[in-house]
Amino acid sequence: MMSFRVSVGIRGSKIAVIFLSRNYASSKWCLDELVEIMKCREELGQTVMTIFYKVDPSHVKKLAGDFGKVFKKTCAGKSKEDIQRWREALVKVATIAGYDLSNWDNEAAMIEKIAMDVSNELINSAPSRDFDNLVGMRAHMENMNLFLRLNSNEVKMIGIWGPSGIGKSTIARALFSKHSHQFQLSVFMENIKRRYPNIQGYDEYSSKLQLQREFLSQIINHVDIKIHHLGVAQDRLKDKRVLVVLDDVDHSIQLEAMANETRWFGPGSRIIITTQDKKLLNAHGISHIYEVGFPREDQKSPYDSIIVFECFGFDFPLEIFCMYAFGQKSPYDGFENFAWEVTQLAGRLPLGLRVIGSYMKGRTKQEWKRELPRLRTSLDGEIVSVLEFGYNALHAEDKELFLYIACFFNKERIEKVEDHLAKNFSDVGQGLQVLAEKSLISIHRRYIDMHDLLARLGREIVRKQCIHDPGQRQILVDARDICKVLNNNTTTSGSLIGTVINFSEIEDELYRSDRVLERFSTLQFLRLNDGSCNQSHLPQSLNNLPHKVRLLDYENFWMTCLPSNFNPEFLVELKMSYSKLEKLWEGNKTIRNI
């Protein structure tokens, strides 16, 4: 029998690499090791990699050829039990897809590939510590394990449901980080609502194809994948054990395109959907739903000298706040009452606790004392007030950048935002870093992500500027204010540099005029959308596009060609999704910045 020390070594390994040569079976020691390795593969999920060196895998499985002859000699005089154990282990290891030297022209290249694959496997199997310090995450993981039941071969769809800012995506990301290495394929489709919006009333089938193409591209890591029908996902994944996270879903089309039925996926697959809409989960037949509620709240300070402190569970709001304000689950000495009061003022939404905690981090007692009166008067328990507090704490230029992100550049790549705003700010990258540090945005894979509530806050702040004279603002995003400017026949100030117009929101005679943008001549950032409005509600032509526009995003543009007098000289980005354009423009145009 194999020594105890070797057995422990095998069981303590993450990966076992088995080198199968013609004479492998000549060693009883090797065969005993193989039995132990295959046992660890079944019981512990150990990764096993095989190398077939000058031996046919079928000879290993069938114990044929020279390999079979060597095995027969080793079996001479051995017990039936040992021979049977060896046979079973060899049959199992031969079915593992491995590296066959006969398929390689260069032995060194094969060795390099094996070393790289081992390294990648070790990286992928390394336990994640990214979420260890998040308050309550361990309990969320334990609760979700009851839904996941990873030892079952049943395909499960699981919903994570709760209000915006409650932490649904964070829970899903923690699950993905912890378990993705246990699946053949895995994908985290983030921010679906924003990044892959449903095109209602336009071309539903094309929208589904687009979603499924992106989904397959990410899960099989193939950038240029082409699909021509919606059966491709099922065909490619039906025999694969996959982990899929569909984050922030808001329409059934998104589910139909990427996870329409459980039979699309192989045995043991898990599909996790985060959403604010429970009806959407129910309509898709998802009965396993994990509700993420607000953290529990105690009405009395645990730091009052006459009150005995009792922990009210993993999701106590004070702990959440303290992790962002102090980097630990409790306040620094002398800051206890400050932290308690701020937590109460911030409300129970984790997003609010995070925003204010990040702002207060590193401040002295005197600074906390100065901030508390303003917190008491400006916050009434509503999340909008909590978020506005974080905005008000910014310097003027960072505030302006925040508004641009909220109104125009949420979910965009950092490089694109820097290109657009380089002339408006001294250092866009530094400004983004400030916003990230204040938890007003997050950055994932070079994409900027501002929470929905914060983006709505930004648009509301813009709307309240010059509330009685919207033509004097820098940004116009509210359809009523835009219509007011047009109806009053007033001239906008030279400070107006951006607007968002959805022609379907207001039916007004002015929108049918080709002079609809005449008073917006200073615009640099222009987003337009025809939506599903009646053709009669659109301008008959569009001859007044601003000459210095840098961003032109016109979704569902109805014309076949841009106006002949359009000047693209300053254009950085032209986005005309779902338009009827047949050509951009007549003649030659100067393009320097696009």
Q: Are 516 and 539 in contact (CB under 8 A)?
A: yes
Chain centroid to Cα 273, Å, comes to 12
Report the distance separating Cα 470 and Cα 520, nearest Å: 12
What DSSP element (H or E) covers 178?
helix 168-179
Structural tokens at position 258? 């990427």
Among 33, 371, 388, 555, which one carries the catalytic annotation? 33
Which 3 state secondary structure label does DSSP give 289? Answer: strand
Tell me which DSSP letter residue 493 carries: P
Q: Are 538 and 516 in contact (CB under 8 A)?
A: no
Structural tokens at position 512? 């049918």
Q: How many CA atoms lie within 13 A of 408 on its CB side?
A: 32
Report the distance separating Cα 497 and Cα 506, nearest Å: 22
Report the distance separating Cα 529 and Cα 83, nearest Å: 73
| Tally of CB atoms within 10 A around 528 | 21
Q: Would you give the end-to-end CA distance of the chain in angstroms?
A: 71
Helices (H), ranges, 20-106: 28-44, 57-62, 65-75, 80-94
Which 3 state secondary structure label does DSSP give 46? Answer: coil
Closest CA to 486 of 474, 494, 497, 476: 476
33 labelled catalytic = yes
Which 3 state secondary structure label does DSSP give 372? Answer: helix
Residues taking part in catalysis:
33
